[in-house]
């Protein structure tokens, strides 16, 4: 069962104190984790002793049982006065005007995580959303190149005695990257706690202003940096990028387990299968499944996740990345793939 299926079931649970609106509509469903043998649903409450909490937990469990959801478990989380679907850490001062922080992650490097992140940012902006992207890949910041902002030095502003970094604006998106401050080769020396501290500043000391989405291009793999990003920045949910090869898929499982692990427990919006097939520039209607067909879909369903998009391997995506003019700015089928992904994510 996918998160979508379970969300549909939870719509049957009405909140008697809120004009019988359902708990999904009210933004009370904080996360859904469809694991192999159990399904963990976390409901968000605005106060510690909500008089209706017990009733709603019971009603949610009953609905899940009614639909034979495997091993239903309903947990709760208290989220203060903030909107119900925001993790606590998001209250960080600098991100107070940011509605959604979404991590773009991958099991390993080179699968097109940054390509997807940059194009998704541009696509969301084209659809009218206010978007920022923080390039947190300390090992290989590629956002400056991919957006043609390389060599730009962001300004700092002194606001009430506090330094705030002004993001670089281009293509309707606010960009920030560790690459603006350290050269390409230098970035490789950022390791461990130093990298975590630098990253925190890079995201929390930036004057993002009002944003609908802040995308975070996370470093590949799983490690200390990821933990600190998740804890200190308050990444609300993740999009996991993969290619169809088997090796990449094994890495995805590790990445997904990280988000689902007990200390982290962040929802995964779904999987993006990049380089799903090859389409030659001169033959836009042809598809060659050079890395195999259906790998992304199989992986998504085995992990109980949605396959959010399949992005083709086309020369234009690589070239536009190198040229600093993201493919999503255009009007071809590759732009359409990223725009569809944006619609899907905004919907979620
Ligand atoms: N769908 C695609 N079609 C063509 N080239 C792609 C595609 N996705 C990524 N690439 C290219 O593959 C390389 C690695 O992508 P990148 O986004 O930097 O990966 P990551 O951030 O995961 O390390 C880049 O040269 C990029 O232009
Ligand atoms: Mg990258």
Per CATH, 3-78 and 88-347 having the same topology is answered no
Atom 27 of ligand 1, residue of closest alpha carbon: 318
Nearest CA to ligand 1 atom 6: 318
Non-local CB neighbours of 338 within 8 Å, separated by 6+ positions: 116, 119, 120, 122, 123, 309, 311, 327, 328
CA–CA dist 344, 348 (Å, integer): 6
Nearest Cα residue to atom 9 of ligand 1: 112
- Residue-range domain boundaries for the chain: 3-78, 88-347
Query: Pairing relation of β-strands 211-217 and 98-106?
Result: parallel
Predicted pLDDT at 185: 52
d(CA 133, CA 218) in angstroms, rounded, equals: 11
CA of 236 to the centre of ligand 2 (A): 20
The CATH number given to 88-347 is 3.40.50.300
Task: Give residue 319 CA to ligand 1 midpoint distance, Å.
Answer: 10
Q: What is the pLDDT along the chain (348 residues), one digit of tens a residue?
A: 888 889 899 999 998 878 778 998 888 888 888 777 888 898 888 777 777 888 899 999 999 999 999 999 998 887 754 443 333 333 356 688 899 999 999 988 899 999 999 999 999 999 999 999 999 887 778 999 999 999 888 888 877 777 788 999 999 999 999 888 765 555 444 555 666 777 787 888 899 999 999 999 998 888 777 887 887 787 888 999 999 887 778 889 999 998 988 878 889 999 999 999 999 988 988 999 998 898 889 999 999 999 999 999 999 999 999 999 999 999 988 999 999 999 999 998
Instruction: Name the residue among 165, 144, 273, 167 with its Cα closest to residue 214.
Output: 167
Tens-digit pLDDT profile for residues 161-190: 777 889 999 999 999 998 887 655 554 445
Given the candidates 3.40.1380.10, 3.60.21.10, 3.30.360.10, 3.30.300.130, the CATH classification of the domain at 3-78 is 3.30.300.130
């Amino acid at each position: 069962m996918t998160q979508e299926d379970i969300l549909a079931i939870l719509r049957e649970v009405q909140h008697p104190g809120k004009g019988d609106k359902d708990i999904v509509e009210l933004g009370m469903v904080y996360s859904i984790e469809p694991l192999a043998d159990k399904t963990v649903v976390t409901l968000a409450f605005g106060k510690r002793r909500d008089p209706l909490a017990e009733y709603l937990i019971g009603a949610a469990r009953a609905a899940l049982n009614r639909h034979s959801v495997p091993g239903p478990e309903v947990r709760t989380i208290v989220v203060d006065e903030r909107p119900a679907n925001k993790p606590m850490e998001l209250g960080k001062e600098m991100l107070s005007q940011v509605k959604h922080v979404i991590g773009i992650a991958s099991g390993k490097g080179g699968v097109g995580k940054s390509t997807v992140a940059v194009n998704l940012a541009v696509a969301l902006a084209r659809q009218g959303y206010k978007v920022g992207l923080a390039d947190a890949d300390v090992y290989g910041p590629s956002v400056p190149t991919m957006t043609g902002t390389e060599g730009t030095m962001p300004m700092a502003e002194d606001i009430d005695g506090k330094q705030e970094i002004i993001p670089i604006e281009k293509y309707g998106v606010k960009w920030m990257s560790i690459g603006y401050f350290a050269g390409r080769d230098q970035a490789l020396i950022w390791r461990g706690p130093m990298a975590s501290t630098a990253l925190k500043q890079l995201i929390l000391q930036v004057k993002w202003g009002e944003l609908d989405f802040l995308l975070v291009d996370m470093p590949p793999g799983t490690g200390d940096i990821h933990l600190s990003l998740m804890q200190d920045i308050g990444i609300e949910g993740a999009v996991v990028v993969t290619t169809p090869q088997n090796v990449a898929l094994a890495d995805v499982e590790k990445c997904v387990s990280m988000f689902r692990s007990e200390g982290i427990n962040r929802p995964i919006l779904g999987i993006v299968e990049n380089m799903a097939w090859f389409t030659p520039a001169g033959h836009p209607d042809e598809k060659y499944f050079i890395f195999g067909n259906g790998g992304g879909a199989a992986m998504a369903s085995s992990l109980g996740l949605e396959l959010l998009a399949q992005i083709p391997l086309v020369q234009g995506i690589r070239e536009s990345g190198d040229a600093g003019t993201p493919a999503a700015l255009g009007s071809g089928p590759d732009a359409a793939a990223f725009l569809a992904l944006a619609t899907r994510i905004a919907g979620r």
